[in-house]
Amino acid sequence: MNNNKKVINFLPYILVISILLLLVTFGNGNATKVFNYNEFSASAEKMEFKDVRMSVGTTVVNIGGTYENNGKLENFTVSVPKTDENIQWLSDIFAKNKNTKVEVLDANRETFMEMFLKNFFPFLLLGGVAIFLFSKMNAGGSNKAFEFSKSRAKIEGNIKVRFKDVAGCDEEKEEVKEIIDYLKDPKRFTDMGARIPKGMLMVGPPGTGKTLLAKAVAGEADVPFFSISGSDFVEMFVGTGASRVRDMFKKAKQTAPCIVFIDEIDAVGRQRGAGMGGGNDEREQTLNQMLVEMDGMEENKGIVIIAATNRPDVLDPALLRSGRFDRQITVNLPDKKGRYEILKVHARNKKLSSEISLENLAKRTPGFSGADLENVLNEGAILAVRDKRKVITMADLDEAIDRVMMGPAKKSKKYTEQEKRLVAYHEAGHAVIGLKLKDADKVEKVTIIPRGQAGGYNLMTPQEEKMFPTKADFMAQITGLMGGRVAEDVMFNEISAGASNDIQKATKIAKAMVRSWGMSSLGPIQYDDGSGNVFLGRDYSSGSNYSGEIAYEIDKEIRKIINECYDKAKEIIEGNKDLLTLIAETLIEEETITSEQINNLVEYGSIHSPEEIKKQEEQNEDSNVENIQNAEEAKVAEEETVKETKEKAEVEKSFDDALKELTKHSEE
């Protein structure tokens, strides 16, 4: 089948090349000399003709053939007026040479079909090839000419994704189960007088599984799945987007029951009139048509619109009202249990070592989305293949987490000795705050190996994941962020630029505490609009919703929080200099230490516990005993070898003596 397609694709080129070759062959191959009547009448007496073909018409006589010119045969043609004198003259000239072969042709012998093929067929063939090439250039997919207004929605049937393939969003599954029940058995709902939601809007951070959940709904209901991106509606041609919306809904009605999934709907569903300089008329027309189509959908006709976005704050209010998108489902980042379930799903086809605990891995990855967790397992598998291991180890997954968070380790980047000590004490400062402050995050791993833009980092996880963190939690978090800068100040009486990211995070938290969460002396008043990301078209002209005096008070409160946390961090660091030095010096030597090793440092002053040291000593003793036994066995074996060698030499000597004695007797 593929070979036939290749031949068809090359067919136009083969035809064009063949026609060109024919033209070249017939045009230049024979070099025919065309005489006019005067030239021919003047030179005909001297020409030696070989072959002559005469076609006598009503007014002229067409003559063609060959003649000899300087020993070479050349073709010629000429038209002579038809008169009795000319015909007699031609007959005499051709009869003069006995070697001349004359053939008289009937002028009416050529049929109409022959004339047509001779005169018009080449032009028709060239025209057909040109049309064929033009059609091939404009064929294929969505680039066909005059098909700009057609919907680009991809229709998928027999979806394989099921709810078992989607983990970490149990509540969201419950919200969409009614849609599945309706698509399977709509009569139950219509008998009760219930109207199924026309549309559902899935909102959440990137990578949380919104698209996967929508596919799972189609898979569970076993209905066709239309998928399209919001950006596929808008084109440079005016009216194209609205036409595509109409075509998409038309196809959906023909395929009902079905699910229409619009990904990144904010690309077309943004607030109208919010564009700079008058807005985008084409996008707004597309949105208007979508609103009309969703209103025009009859109730309980088996069409469910599911849309996904990361920016619900920029969507037009008319799109979100009941009757269009009746239900809004928030797909948040998974908690520890959700991460564990997601890891189990993605670990199905992975060869994991028996030492790996997915539950512990879930504890170490707070804030990871489902896509991040899948990437962690995939990176771990790639590292195992790179190192030619048969299973994925915990070390592979540790490195994979670091890669997803910070990027690959820059092992070629070397510190100076002074920089290495500075980074070690900086990271040790974070670790000490995590160990000694009550509400601070737990230290999981500390490293001074550079990654990304960071010279080193601490992997710290919350003691327990909370839905509503308190002021004490935020204060402890800021204090932990200040730990690195404080350690530099206390130990070296110097500060570096390495704390810039810590300062940025701490300032962001302090601003939110004052402006959004009311955790300052300014009281429970929100001085922020709370919208998160700025929408330029809407927020460009909006002024501040507080006065200049309040802005000054806000700055004072933010500074107060940061200074209070800095002083708290300094108090802890100065009270635990020995622990700080111990962790930092261990980091300088080991470069990376884990939470278990840090706990051993706190309790025993060494990264190894007494049990580990004892076990290692026992292993060393066993190894020494085994080495002694092996040495003794080697010695005994050597003595036996020497003894065997001596005995063999004695036997050989006795044999030689006997042979000599026998030879002597023989000679006598």
Sheet holding 592-594, edge to edge: 457-461, 442-447, 592-594
Catalytic residue check, 557: no
269 CB-near residues (< 8 Å, 6+ apart): 230, 287, 290, 307, 309, 315, 316, 319
Per-residue tokens: 628? 């002694």
Measured distance CA(507)–CA(557) in Å, rounded: 11
275 appears as a binding residue in the annotation: no
- Is the link from the previous residue into 257 a cis peptide, with omega within 30 of 0? yes
272 Cβ neighbours under 8 A, 6+ residues apart: 279, 284, 287, 288, 316
Structure tokens at 269: 């569903």
Rounded CA-CA distance 201/134 in Å is 44
Q: Binding site annotation covers 209? A: yes
Nearest residue to 228 (alpha-carbon basis) of 265, 269, 176, 183: 265
- Kind and range of the H or E element at 103? strand 101-106
Pairing type for strands 199-203 and 303-309 reads parallel
Annotated binding residue at 210? yes
Contact indicator for 601, 587 with CB cutoff of 8 Å: no
Take residue 589 and report the two structure tokens written for it.
Answer: 């030597």
| 442 bridge partner residues | 461
Give CA 474 to chain center in angstroms: 36
3-class secondary structure per residue, 274-329? CCCCCCCHHHHHHHHHHHHHHHHCCCCCCEEEEEEECCHHHECHHHHCCCCCCEEE
663 is in an annotated binding site: no
CA-nearest of 338, 441, 355, 340 to 398 is 355
Interior/surface letters 590-612, b for 16+ CB within 10 angstroms, e for the rest: eeebbbebbebbeeeeebeeeee
381 Cβ contact partners less than 8 Å away, ≥ 6 residues apart: 350, 351, 392, 396
Counting Cα atoms < 13 Å in the Cβ hemisphere of 122 gives 10
Q: How far apart are CA 346 and CA 369, in angstroms?
A: 13
Asked if residue 204 belongs to a known ligand binding site, the reply is yes
**168 annotated as belonging to a binding site for a ligand:** no
Nearest to 19 by CA among 102, 110, 133, 112: 133
Residue 577: C-alpha distances to residues 422, 570, 572, 585, 606 (Å)? 15, 11, 9, 12, 16
Give one word for 527, left, alpha or beta, with left for phi > 0 and alpha for psi -120 to 50. alpha
As given in the structure block, the two tokens for residue 268 are 């077309």
Helix, coil or strand: residue 79: strand
**Residue 273 is which amino acid?**
G
Q: What DSSP character marks residue 153?
A: P
Residue 81 assigned as binding residue: no
Write down the residue that tokens 């630029």 correspond to: 497
User: DSSP readout, 561-619?
Assistant: HHHHHHHHHHHHHHHTHHHHHHHHHHHHHHSEEEHHHHHHHHHHSSSS-HHHHHHHHHH
Distance CA 225, CA 213 (A): 12
Among 427, 444, 488, 557, the active-site one is 427
Residue 502 is assigned to a ligand binding site = yes
| 141 is known to lie in a ligand binding site | no
Antiparallel, parallel or unpaired: β 592-594 and 442-447: antiparallel
Annotated binding site for ATP: 204-211
Residues of each annotated binding site for Zn(2+): 426, 430, 502
The catalytic residues are 427
Per the annotation, binding residues are 204-211, 426, 430, 502
